[in-house]
Amino acid sequence: MSVKSAGRVIDIMNLLKDYPGGLPLKEIAAKLSLPQSSAFHLIQTMHSRQVLTMTERKQYKLGPKLIQIGTRALETLDVNTEAQPLLRELMEKVEETIFMAVLMEKELVYVAKVDNYRSVRTSAQIGMRKPLYCTGLGKAFLAFLPEAVSDNILSSINMEAITNNTITDPVVLQAQFPQFRAQGYAIDDEENETGLFCLAAPIYNAAGEMIAAVSVAGPKSRVSSRHSFIAEELLHTSKVISQRNGY
Amino acid sequence: MSVKSAGRVIDIMNLLKDYPGGLPLKEIAAKLSLPQSSAFHLIQTMHSRQVLTMTERKQYKLGPKLIQIGTRALETLDVNTEAQPLLRELMEKVEETIFMAVLMEKELVYVAKVDNYRSVRTSAQIGMRKPLYCTGLGKAFLAFLPEAVSDNILSSINMEAITNNTITDPVVLQAQFPQFRAQGYAIDDEENETGLFCLAAPIYNAAGEMIAAVSVAGPKSRVSSRHSFIAEELLHTSKVISQRNGY
DNA sequence: CTCCTTAATTCATATATGTGAATATAATTC
DNA sequence: GAATTATATTCACATATATGAATTAAGGAG
């Protein structure tokens, strides 16, 4: 059994995350199909505990308490604490930006980013969600997750073109997986951001489940010319992180 | 009226943020004085929505959903959106790294970081928490918050030495405050990171409450030689940000 | 400034949750 | 590996929440 009002608290936070400017009570109720009066009591409770803030115009937004909680969530993520120093090492070896992400509801969520000083302009930020089909990390999930899971995800997502290189046909995408599995890492060739080339490898836990993915991202010319060196370092790092997680 | 189960969801998140290793159902219930069966239903609801994760040993921790939500909370923080362009300007003028932080339960939480291209190595990252007594931003809070609040915080924290310069005696720390108040900004002289010198000024809202602090951080030699110039620019920026917040 | 529109609160009752005790399951000890 | 202990889960009734309708407050138009 699930607790209705508890679920609604989560729904409200989840809704407001997509409205940086905030939403008024009425709209929150409408978008979640809640009676206004129900939404009222919930929002009041959340507001009084700093989970929500209210602007002068009675627009509700995510509050400062959630900054704290969210940061802790990031810090306590097992894979993250284990991985941080290793990701930093990897960055120093390959001299490109490193990302790590976990899977959430058919999308990936960045949980770590180690910037290279030769700063590449990538829009990705910690906490951000991105689709799976057009990112190195996402393709790593699709290729290395159990096929049933991967197929299920692929069959339920919409593959829009982001760049000229974005693969929009699930069959074409799946055709890449055997190679990814053979080499141990996935490739994103400007499929999400023009000019950006990524190698991404899976991370496993003690149960042998894929729990995260790590990637090296950089300008295509710079990365593809050092492809095999980067791949080697990436695979080494991802393997060590998996081991630290009991794999 | 406040919704009981909604409040409890918040209590549970808030509790778990202090237990990075997670807590089992029983302890969550005990620490919050909830009946186990009540805690059970709530946790089940939260777990099924990825707000909590469960380790193999049935220890519950903050889940990935909260990473996402917390990150958005950070991005939508008013003071942050208002301040961003001004912080960037400040960085370009003083050519050092700029930070902004808010106060949360006796610690500071970084909400903005504008890197200078002559990149200083600072460990501070957005979303990260740091103690107040040993950082420029923290000392700004302690010096410019109402004395009752400041004293209360100081009396409840443990002042460990981080560097050779860290002030570990509350009385010594408090002795600096009158000067900070007179000049309008606080100073951190390698008290948190060796080699790092900081100037930090308070930001106020329309109600005259201190809501944030901004700092300029850089190598000691480079910053202290331009001390008065940097102080002037910092004070100008912090004042403008306060004004944008209605001060 | 007043009327009109829209959104936020309040209220009373139908309905869902909260809870102590019982049960099942997992972990630990011997 | 069996017995024991501790913890998680289920259950049914007492209690708190959820909700549609009514009310109040706020916002906008003329």
Q: Which amino acid is located at A49 in the chain?
A: R
DSSP designation for A73: H
pLDDT over 90 percentage in chain A: 51
Question: What span, in angstroms and rounded, lies between the C-alpha atoms of B125 and B129?
Answer: 9
> Is the pTM above the cut of 0.75?
yes
DSSP states of chain B? ---HHHHHHHHHHHHHTT-TT-EEHHHHHHHTT--HHHHHHHHHHHHHTTSEEE-TT-EEEE-HHHHHHHHHHHHH-HHHHHHHHHHHHHHHHH-SEEEEEEEETTEEEEEEEE--SS-------TT-EE-STTSHHHHHHHHHS-HHHHHHHHHHS----SSTT----HHHHHHHHHHHHHHT-EEEESSSSTTEEEEEEEEE-TTS-EEEEEEEEEEHHHHHTTHHHHHHHHHHHHHHHHHHTT-
Cβ atoms within 10 A of the Cβ of A119, count? 11
Q: Which residue is it, tokens 């393997």?
A: A239
Average pLDDT value for residue range A119-139: 83
- Could you give the number of structural domains in chain A? 2
User: Is there a contact between A5 and B5 if contact means CB atoms under 8 Å apart?
Assistant: yes
Structure tokens given for A224: 């593809």
Residue scoring higher pLDDT (A11 or A118) = A11
Structure tokens given for B17: 């943020």
* Structure confidence at residue A49 (pLDDT): 86
Among B9, B163, B87, which Cα is nearest to A66's?
Answer: B9
Contacts of B49 in chain A (CB under 8 A): 7, 10
> Which CATH number fits the domain that encloses residue A191?
3.30.450.40
Phi, psi of A148 (to 5 degrees): -60, -45
Among B133, B113, B138, B139, which Cα is nearest to B124's?
Answer: B113
**A118 band by pLDDT with thresholds 50, 70 and 90:** low
User: How distant is the Cα of B6 from the closest Cα of chain A, in angstroms?
Assistant: 5
Question: What span, in angstroms and rounded, lies between the C-alpha atoms of A154 and A164?
Answer: 20
* Structure confidence at residue B116 (pLDDT): 77
Mark whether A224 and A105 lie in a shared domain: yes
Low-confidence ranges of chain B (pLDDT < 50): none
Which residue among A5, A17, A74 places its CB closest to the CB of B72? A17
Mark whether B142 and B56 lie in a shared domain: no
Boundary-marking domain end, from A68, A102, A118: A68
Sign of the dihedral defined by the CA atoms of residues B177, B234, A21, B130, in that order: negative
DSSP designation for A117: S
Which tens digits make up the pLDDT trace of B78-136? Answer: 777 778 889 989 999 999 999 999 888 788 988 888 887 665 566 677 777 889 999 99
Residue scoring higher pLDDT (A81 or A239) = A239
Interface probe, candidates A67, A113, A126, chain B, greatest B C-beta count within 10 A = A67
DSSP designation for A135: S
Q: Which residue is it, tokens 């058919």?
A: A106
Boundary-marking domain end, from A68, A95, A112: A68
Contacts of B28 in chain A (CB under 8 A): none
For residue A119, pLDDT over 70 is answered with no
Mark whether A111 and A42 lie in a shared domain: no
Mark whether A35 and A85 lie in a shared domain: no
CA of A3 to C1' of C28 (A): 33
Among B160, B170, B172, B165, which Cα is nearest to B188's?
Answer: B165
Q: Answer whether A66's CB lies under 8 Å from A14's CB.
A: no
User: Is there a contact between B5 and A3 if contact means CB atoms under 8 Å apart?
Assistant: yes
* Structure confidence at residue A180 (pLDDT): 96
Mark whether B102 and B27 lie in a shared domain: no
Boundary-marking domain end, from A68, A100, A118: A68
* Structure confidence at residue B86 (pLDDT): 92
User: Is there a contact between B127 and A125 if contact means CB atoms under 8 Å apart?
Assistant: no
User: Is there a contact between A69 and B70 if contact means CB atoms under 8 Å apart?
Assistant: yes
Mark whether B210 and B89 lie in a shared domain: yes
Radius of gyration of chain A (CA): 20
Structure tokens given for B149: 């609040």
Mark whether A91 and A213 lie in a shared domain: yes
Mark whether A233 and A144 lie in a shared domain: yes
Question: What span, in angstroms and rounded, lies between the C-alpha atoms of B213 and B224?
Answer: 20
Alpha carbon of A75 to those of A82, A137, B67: distances in Å? 10, 20, 9
Query: HSE (CB half, 13 Å, CA atoms) of A77?
Result: 30
Structure tokens given for B92: 């370009």
Chain B residue with CA closest to A18: the answer is: B72
CB closer than 7 A to strand C: which residues?
A 1-6, 24-26, 36-37, 40-41, 44, 58; B 4-5, 8, 34-38, 40-42, 57-58
Interface probe, candidates B1, B38, B56, B66, chain A, greatest A C-beta count within 10 A = B66
> Which CATH number fits the domain that encloses residue B45?
1.10.10.10
At how many degrees (to 10) do helices A78-94 and A227-244 cross? 160
Average pLDDT value for residue range A35-62: 87
* Structure confidence at residue B117 (pLDDT): 67
Which tens digits make up the pLDDT trace of A70-84? Answer: 888 888 887 777 788
Mark whether B229 and B180 lie in a shared domain: yes
DSSP states of A140-177? HHHHHS-HHHHHHHHHHS----SSTT----HHHHHHHH
Which residue among A3, A62, A125 places its CB closest to the CB of B45? A3
A141, A144, A146, A150: CA torsion to nearest 10: 40
Q: Supply the mean pLDDT for chain A.
A: 89
Mark whether B63 and B133 lie in a shared domain: no
User: Is there a contact between B64 and A22 if contact means CB atoms under 8 Å apart?
Assistant: no
Mark whether A132 and A237 lie in a shared domain: yes
Q: Which helix (H) or strand (E) element contains residue A116?
A: none
Which tens digits make up the pLDDT trace of A194-230? Answer: 999 999 999 998 778 898 999 999 999 999 999 999 9
Residue scoring higher pLDDT (A30 or A180) = A180
Q: Please, what is the Cα angle at A187 between A182 and A193, to 5 degrees?
A: 170
Domain range for B9 is 4-68
Mark whether B181 and B227 lie in a shared domain: yes
For residue A135, pLDDT over 70 is answered with yes
Average pLDDT value for residue range A4-19: 90
